[in-house]
Amino acid sequence: MSSPATPPAQPDTGTPDPAPPRLRVVGPDGKPEPVRPDRTMPHLRDRRARLRDEITAGAPAAVRRQHDLGKRTARERLELLLDPDSFIEIDMYRRHQSSSATLKSRPYTDGVVAGSGTVDGRRVFVYAQDFTIFGGSLGQAQAAKIHKVMDHALATGAPLIALNDSGGARIQEGVLSLHGYGGIFRRHVEASGVIPQLSVIMGPCAGGAAYSPALADFTFMVRGTAQMYLTGPDVVAAVSGERVSHDELGGADVHGSRSGVATLVYDDEESCLDDVRYLLSLLPANNLDVPPRAPAPDAEQDERPALADIVPVEPNQPYDMRDVVAEIVDDGEFFELHEDWAQNVICGLGRIGGDVVGIVGNQPQVLAGVLDRVASQKAARFVRFCDAFNIPLVTLVDVPGFLPGTEQEYAGVIRHGAQLLYAYCEASVPRIQVILRKAYGGAYIVMDSRSIGTDLSLAWPTNEIAVMGAEGAVNILHRKDLAAADDAAERRAELVAEYTDEFMHPHYAAERGLVDDVIDPAQTRAMVARGLAMLRTKRRRMPERKHGNIPL
């Protein structure tokens, strides 16, 4: 038997030999050069693996410093966020092309790890800034990588997740860095309402960089390590003399409770990324999709007698609207957003009968559940998000009105209230209103009333829907009568009783078609579930236009 290295001699057929299998290049000395190595040759594979290992490991001192700061590296974060072995990295070998003497080293990745992976088997696009390389600062190459990932996310209709940890615009690349940011902002806006955009702040997010999370749908922040501000403490001190720490200026709690910039705040990176995964499980991949359904408990027959005990009959008694929500949603699971900001209204996502819904509710235990400037803004943004991503809205109403006063008026409560009104009027998803106790004046209209387009309005029997409360109404309507009465208190009580009998019950609204049904509180979950089933295929077309002009 002949060896493969010495093939048997071919019989002479008189025809030329077939072409040799490979072209051989002739070198300067006229001799053929060695055949170029096969792409799978082990030494090339090793070299590539070594380079990848080097890149993915990062510079040991910088990684150590990152850990000492209580932060994970970009790759460690991606490991926590994505399904195991699902990450496809793009542009790993990209480096800056700057010839500036101030940027001598040219590390691979250019300070951002970018690509795609899956979360619970569903595709997402992601970039994670790497603080160990130039402080995660954004230069031209980093920006181009981020642009690429954003373009892929939009083209494929998959959520975008940004893990931010960066000193902002890379100072050494000057205006090219600013140009890079502009490209990110433009892409956020193009993708707005098309794919969910989640921004996770896990380190500094300084200067104009903060506009990227501001343009996203949700901003997560980690206490102690994340800060967002347009100008840092040094600039603040130089300009105004005010001395503040990084955290006092733009830490997670500041943005979670005072500015409203952070939607969600966490004690550590792990719980933060856990919740990013959880939130994704409630969202559709894009605006043409619907949120994933979960195995459905039979909500349509589910009576909840506890509801009547949670809400006191007396209209001024406080209670926690979250207790009501817990009885209405599947397994009591409610993913609340902006938990510590504008607490007089609650907004969040849950499931009813397996379907994801967005819940907006007045919160009687904070400021008696009154609507004010920030509560209107908070709810308006949430309603618009739900509408953009095909998430039905359930609005739980128990509202005494809008907050009066100069502080509110001077700060533009009219504009902000109009934002909420606008958001509801525009929403084309299924909309269900449940009036639990009271709904007065403009706040009644704004909280998804029949007049602005709710699809199904349900009212508990004890409720009061009116222009205002009985006492206030009697004082205005019967001022002269009361002034002339021998016993003003007795006369007032009579008039209040008359007004209450005539106006302060749901049947006044139900007889006029403004409330579809007056329901037993225990049946709220079941009735909402039936309403959602009834409205599932709702379609509503708005007039053709370029876009509306939402109030400031």
Under the rule (CB under 6 A), what is the footprint of ligand HXC? 134-135, 137, 167-172, 178, 181, 204, 206-209, 232
**What per-residue string of b and e applies to 1-31 under the rule 16 or more CB within 10 Å gives b?**
eeeeeeeeeeeeeeeeeeeeeeeeeeeeeee
**Measured CA distances, 10 to 2, 20, 249 (Å):** 13, 15, 84
- Residue closer to ligand HXC by CB (options 96, 378) is 96
Concerning whether 111 is annotated as a catalytic residue, the answer is: no
Closest approach of Cβ 132 to ligand HXC, in Å?
Answer: 8
Closest approach of Cβ 170 to ligand HXC, in Å?
Answer: 4
Q: Would you call 47 helix, strand, or coil by DSSP?
A: helix
Max Cα separation, the chain? 135
- Residue closer to ligand HXC by CB (options 228, 347) is 228
* Three-class HEC string of 403-448: CCCHHHHHCCHHHHHHHHHHHHHHCCCCEEEEEEEEEEHHHHHHCC
Closest approach of Cβ 76 to ligand HXC, in Å?
Answer: 18
- Residue closer to ligand HXC by CB (options 171, 482) is 171
Question: Comparing C-alpha atoms, which of 122, 432, 126 is closest to residue 289?
Answer: 122
Please work out, in degrees rounded to the nearest 5, the angle formed at the alpha carbon of residue 82 by the alpha carbons of 76 and 86: 105
Name the active-site residue from 174, 183, 193, 208. Answer: 208
Closest approach of Cβ 108 to ligand HXC, in Å?
Answer: 16
Chain-centroid distance, C-alpha 439: 29
Rounded to whole angstroms, the Cα distance separating 112 from 118 reads 19
State which H helix or E strand residue 164 sits in. strand 160-166
Relative to beta strand 431-440, strand 393-399 is parallel
Name the active-site residue from 442, 453, 510, 533. Answer: 442
Closest approach of Cβ 125 to ligand HXC, in Å?
Answer: 22
10 Å CB burial of residue 262 (0-12, 13-18, 19+) is: buried
User: Do residues 299 and 352 touch, judged by C-beta distance below 8 A?
Assistant: yes
Closest approach of Cβ 388 to ligand HXC, in Å?
Answer: 25
Q: Would you call 193 helix, strand, or coil by DSSP?
A: coil
Tokens linked to 473: 């109404």
Closest approach of Cβ 173 to ligand HXC, in Å?
Answer: 8
Concerning whether 208 is annotated as a catalytic residue, the answer is: yes
**Measured CA distances, 75 to 72, 137, 192 (Å):** 8, 17, 27
- Residue closer to ligand HXC by CB (options 96, 384) is 96
Name the active-site residue from 141, 299, 423, 443. Answer: 443
Question: Comparing C-alpha atoms, which of 57, 65, 77, 74 is closest to residue 268?
Answer: 77
Concerning whether 209 is annotated as a catalytic residue, the answer is: no
Tokens linked to 271: 């719980």
Q: Would you call 521 helix, strand, or coil by DSSP?
A: helix
Q: Would you call 245 helix, strand, or coil by DSSP?
A: coil
Residues forming a β-bridge with 219:
199
- Residue closer to ligand HXC by CB (options 135, 315) is 135
Query: Which residue has 């009783």 as its token pair?
Result: 497
- Residue closer to ligand HXC by CB (options 175, 483) is 175
Concerning whether 442 is annotated as a catalytic residue, the answer is: yes
Closest approach of Cβ 168 to ligand HXC, in Å?
Answer: 3
Rounded to whole angstroms, the Cα distance separating 321 from 395 reads 11
Closest approach of Cβ 525 to ligand HXC, in Å?
Answer: 47
- Residue closer to ligand HXC by CB (options 147, 304) is 147
- Residue closer to ligand HXC by CB (options 138, 465) is 138
- Residue closer to ligand HXC by CB (options 134, 424) is 134
User: Do residues 376 and 419 touch, judged by C-beta distance below 8 A?
Assistant: yes
Any idea which residues carry the catalytic annotation?
Answer: 207-208, 442-443
